[in-house]
Amino acid sequence: MNNYSNYKGMMRKIADIQYASAVLNWDQETFMPPKGATFRAQQLSTLAGIGHELATSKELGDLLNTLSTDVSLSEKEKRNIKQSLKNYNDNKKYTTEFVQELSKTISETFQSWQKAKEENNFSLYAPNLEKLVKLKREECKLLGTFAHPYDALLNQYEPGAKTADLEILFADVRSQLVAFVKKIAVKPQNKDSFMYLQYNKTKQWELGLELLKQMGYDFEAGRQDASSHPFTTNFSSQDVRVTTRINEKDLNEMIWSCIHEGGHALYEQGLPAEEYGLPSGEYVSLGIHESQSRLWENNVGRSLGYWKNNFKLLQNTFSESLKGINFEDFYKAMNIVKPSLIRTSADELTYHFHVLIRFEIEKALIEGSIEVKDLPNYWNSKYKEYLGLDVPSDSKGVLQDIHWSHGSFGYFPTYSLGSFYAAQFFAQAKKEIKGLESEIEKGNTKPLLDWLREKVHRHGKFYSAEELCIAISGEKLNFKYFMDYAAAKYTALYNL
Ligand code: CO
């Protein structure tokens, strides 16, 4: 066997361990009985240990170093080696003590966050979070020298992203989107009370499956189950699971979680199966992943054309609650713009203020210009500034998200990047696919899926996010596309 085949074999073994953990995690969120939790945690920790050993073994390191100078490799092989070597070197920067300390602190912080949120008492969480922030600051140093320490964390989710670039991007969000939302706020509001009538659970479930099927989700390579927080996970491109959450008194939850997770799942199902375990078989970044979910959710799912076809299905399913409502009423209801306290239920415009606030806070925390004790006040003043809202309690404020309690600093910006990439990609798709919008109106999204497969999915991680964006649209990420999309859509919706 030659070196490259050896490398593939080792990478696939690491992937086997990771995906086996993913199955256990998926089960934990969906079907595991409560008493299974203790041993499950132990099983996951054992597998994580084995995975880490394999991923940092001397054998793998030697092999990668040898292969990194092998000029006979193809371009794709070279890129795989470069990527794997980078991951290997990053993994090696962590001492076992640091990993253990971090993992212990995270589980303590997570538990204290749950309690603090439940009891609306930030002080129960603050001491653990302080410890965790300190460790994350250390982690930044340990990962090397960056223009800004926060870059090190950002790169774990969005390889190549820079704080300086995000500052420019979010300055655009601030100057353009804030003003635009203010124009909407003074207009008469559209009605959506019918969304909160009675919607039968079983019928919602069936409808969700139908929406997934229509998008092209392959049920031979996946399935849908219920969980308290909707998510997508995969064990290979041939087994990609989605979950949804159904609320009988709110039709929004199922519809948007199905389409959103469906978008993530189509990406995973479209990754090349023959590249299993290799960078060329993996997603590019969380921002690109999110571009796929948001493109389906917002650019397709929240468009008038999409419901021209699908509203009939919806109305036949829920004839009682949707009596007298037409697809235009429905379109207006799903696109109401209104500043609110909770990120996960925000509309597609004010959503980015929630992200902007978290970005500013994380950056300040990591560089040390604010401390954990300052968080509630800082948070509340930002919500007043950007959303004009008074935060009534920490549970509805600084305690609402799970991310920081998991040590996930640098994650939030990928949500906004996802929407902005989605707008840019969708603008390009409209140029390249003849009659795209009229096909969507007819319920035919296959040309769009084929285009995404060709432009995004099949490449795996061959391109970086920036390279991929240039390859698709001819330029780097440009906020203009999102603003153009928002301006066209909401000017019509609100008669601006
Ligand atoms: Co998502």
Q: What is the mean pLDDT of the chain?
A: 95
pLDDT in the model for residue 3: 95
In words, the CATH class of domain 163-493 is mainly alpha
63: helix, coil or strand?
Answer: helix
Residue 59 tokens read as 């054998």
- 450 touches 326 (CB < 8 A): no
Q: Which residues does the chain have with pLDDT short of 50?
A: none
* Pairing of β 232-236 and β 239-244: antiparallel
DSSP symbols for 89-133: HHHHTS-HHHHHHHHHHHHHHHHHHHHHHHHT-GGGTHHHHHHHH
pLDDT in tens, 284-318: 999 999 999 999 999 999 999 999 989 999 999 99
CB atoms within 10 A of CB 229: 10
Q: Tell me: the pLDDT tens digits for 51-108?
A: 999 999 999 999 999 999 999 999 999 999 999 999 999 999 998 889 888 988 998 8
Cα(204) to ligand 1 centroid in Å equals 21
Interval between CA 68 and ligand 1 midpoint (Å):
34
Residues 100-125 pLDDT 10s: 889 889 988 988 999 999 999 999 99
Element (H, E) at 223: strand 222-226
Q: What tokens were used for 204?
A: 């919602």
Contact 292, 284 (CB under 8 A): no
Q: What pLDDT is stored for residue 41 in this prediction?
A: 84
Residue 437: per-residue pLDDT = 95
From edge to edge, which strands make up the β-sheet containing 222-226?
Answer: 222-226, 239-244, 232-236
Q: What distance in angstroms lies between residue 287's CA and the mean position of ligand 1's atoms?
A: 9
The predicted pLDDT at position 139 comes to 96
Please report where in the chains the tokens 């000017």 appear, as a residue.
491
- CA–centroid distance, 244 to ligand 1, in Å, is 12
How high is the pLDDT of residue 99? 87
d(CA 348, ligand 1 centre) in Å? 13
Token couple for 257: 């979680």
Q: pLDDT tens across 402-422, in order? A: 999 999 999 999 999 999 999
- 203-207: long-range contacts at Cβ-Cβ below 8 A with a sequence spacing of 24 or more? 203/317, 203/318, 204/246, 204/248, 204/251, 204/254, 205/244, 205/246, 205/254, 206/317, 207/254, 207/313, 207/314, 207/317
Q: Which residues are catalytic?
A: 261
What pTM was computed for the model?
0.96
Ligand 1 centroid – CA 156 distance (Å)? 17
Span from the CA of 339 to the centroid of ligand 1 (angstroms): 21
Buried b (16+ CB within 10 A) or exposed e, 299-316: bbbbbbbbbbebbeebbe
In the chain, where are the structural domains located?
Answer: 3-145, 163-493
CA 146 to chain centre: 24
pLDDT for residue 363? 96
